[in-house]
Amino acid sequence: MKTSRIHIILFMLIATLLLSSCTNRKKSRKVRKKSYPTMPSRKGKKKKTYVPPKTSPTKKTKGQTRSGGGSTTYKPPNSRPGSSTGGTRVPSSGGSSQTNKSGSGTNVKPGVPGGYKPPSTPSTPSTPTFPPDPKPDPNPPSNEGPIVVVPPPTNKPGGNSGTPTTPPPTKPPTTKPPTSPPPTTPPPYTPPSPPPYTPPQPLPPSTPTVQNKSDLLPSIEWDFRYGSHKTAGRLFTLDPFSLPVPGERGLTLNAVTCVPANGYRGYYERERVSKKRIVLHFTAGNIKSDINVLTKQKDGYAKWRLSVPFVIARDGTIYQLFGSGYWSYHLGTGAVGGNDQSSKESIGIELSNYGPLIRDGNNLLTVYSKPSRPDVYCTINETHKYTKLPTPHNGYQYFATYTDAQYESLIVLLRYLTTKYNIPRKFLPERKRYNANYETAMFKGINSHLNYRKTGKWDIGPAFQWNRVINGVTSSRYIRGGSGGG
């Protein structure tokens, strides 16, 4: 009996040990399944398995959320944000449940309060059942704005994202009442100053098909005045100016200063001498050749004083080469009364004109023509370009005419100079007008180059309209354009 009791007790002990070992093995298996991956050991230590604290699993039931945190909406398996599962719209982010604005379904109910603790023994969740989709409400609540679906742009690559967007509500712009500026006292009125005188610039003349000398004169004068400002390769500085004629209401002298751009001034003497008379000339050339000769620097001479202060072009432009109070030689060697004294006491004025012409068949040639190279000024049929004298003067019967613009500019210039230098507005009588003697040379008034040279000069002869100039200068008042032309 004792032996059987001992055997029974031993058997029960062995069975108890076996049962306890089996139980421990089951528990260790469960811990391994739920454990995280083992971390590598450091410094030769054995690997340790991290065992997380026991947490009670959340019971997944319909309409409930996880315990211990904020309310989290239940998401069925294999669902993603923005997708529909089982006929119900699943929101894309957690948080408290809201009414679905799209009207395609209803969000799930809020979860159980965070204080709820589910039982420690996990339970197998049952398959959730969902109610059928409700019909969309045709009249949404007033506190919610209407949903605006913006179609994706078609011109950009990657186009349609498929997700409707609702623009944020915009606040109406706040309008502030207009504020009136503080009253200010306006500044006193200042009248604008008149602009300086600028003569109108004419259009360049067209090149004639038949290039006679007279046809080229307009283009030559335009190029020097408005184009290149050059003659014989020399550049000139041109500055227009305007001066009122002393004692003449409404009469203005318009002229242009013309000096070499290189600064050369040796063609006149800066010595002021009292002026007693005005001597008229013509240049026997065009405006470019005229200014070139009258401002030329001759080789071997520090000063080659051969010039006049004024040259009047065929278009009426008055070029001033130096101040009219200074002087330069303009009468020539052998002049009656002496070239020095007569040149100092007089003011020379040159009119740009070719002077005497030579007839050759139906053409009129200049004095520079040669048998091998005829220089045609015009044809015999162009009667407005020349003047034919009844009898030859000093061997010539044909002379190039002056323009109306030259006559008008000459009259204004003579009225200005006679007033400025107190020169009498007198002319030689016609019977003495073309004589060269001491009386005509020392005449106080207005004479011409013919009164100083007995031979070799023709300026200014009977082809000049003396009466027109005399009437314009001696009249009490002169108005431009009031007299006829030649």
- pLDDT at residue 82 in the model: 44
The phi-psi region of residue 397 (left if phi > 0; otherwise alpha if psi is between -120 and 50; otherwise beta) is alpha
The token duo for 136 is: 């969309």
Q: How many CB atoms lie within 10 A of CB 283?
A: 22
DSSP output for 243-309: EEPTT-TT-EEEEEEEEETT---TTSB-------EEEEEE-SS-HHHHHHHHT---TT-S---B--S
The answer as to whether 319 is a domain residue is: yes
The answer as to whether 290 is a domain residue is: yes
Measured distance CA(411)–CA(407) in Å, rounded: 6
The answer as to whether 308 is a domain residue is: yes
Nearest Cα neighbor of 449 from 428, 472, 467, 470 is 428
Q: What is the dihedral of CA 108, 110, 114, 116, to 10 degrees?
A: -70
Q: Which CATH number do you get for residue 449?
A: 3.40.80.10
Measured distance CA(339)–CA(301) in Å, rounded: 18
CA geometry: angle 449, 453, 454, nearest 5 deg: 130
Measured distance CA(403)–CA(384) in Å, rounded: 10
Q: Do the Cβ atoms of 26 and 19 come closer than 8 Å?
A: no
The answer as to whether 32 is a domain residue is: no
- pLDDT at residue 234 in the model: 94
Measured distance CA(377)–CA(118) in Å, rounded: 128
User: What backbone phi and psi angles, to 5 degrees, belong to 95?
Assistant: 115, -175
The token duo for 228 is: 């290149």
Q: Do the Cβ atoms of 377 and 400 come closer than 8 Å?
A: yes
Measured distance CA(346)–CA(274) in Å, rounded: 9
- pLDDT at residue 110 in the model: 46
Q: How many CB atoms lie within 10 A of CB 436?
A: 17
- pLDDT at residue 250 in the model: 87
Nearest Cα neighbor of 469 from 407, 404, 386 is 407
The answer as to whether 161 is a domain residue is: no
Measured distance CA(211)–CA(226) in Å, rounded: 21
pLDDT (tens digit, 0 to 9) for every residue of the chain, 486 residues total?
556 778 888 888 888 888 877 776 655 555 454 444 555 545 455 555 555 565 555 554 444 444 444 444 445 445 444 444 444 444 444 444 444 444 444 444 444 444 445 555 444 444 545 555 555 555 655 454 455 444 555 544 444 444 445 555 555 555 555 565 555 676 676 666 666 656 667 777 766 666 789 999 999 999 999 999 999 999 999 999 999 999 888 899 999 999 999 999 999 999 999 999 999 999 999 999 999 999 998 888 878 889 999 999 999 999 999 999 999 999 988 888 888 889 999 999 999 999 999 999 999 999 999 988 999 999 999 999 999 999 998 889 999 999 999 999 999 999 999 999 999 999 999 999 999 999 999 999 999 999 998 877 778 889 999 999 999 999 988 887 654 332
The answer as to whether 222 is a domain residue is: yes
- pLDDT at residue 192 in the model: 67
The token duo for 418 is: 């006679």
The answer as to whether 188 is a domain residue is: no
pTM recorded for the entire structure? 0.59
DSSP output for 160-179: -------PPPPPPPPPPPPP
- pLDDT at residue 466 in the model: 95
Q: Please count the structural domains in the chain.
A: 1
- pLDDT at residue 483 in the model: 40
- pLDDT at residue 108 in the model: 43
Q: Which domain covers residue 234, as residue numbers?
A: 213-354+401-474
The answer as to whether 344 is a domain residue is: yes
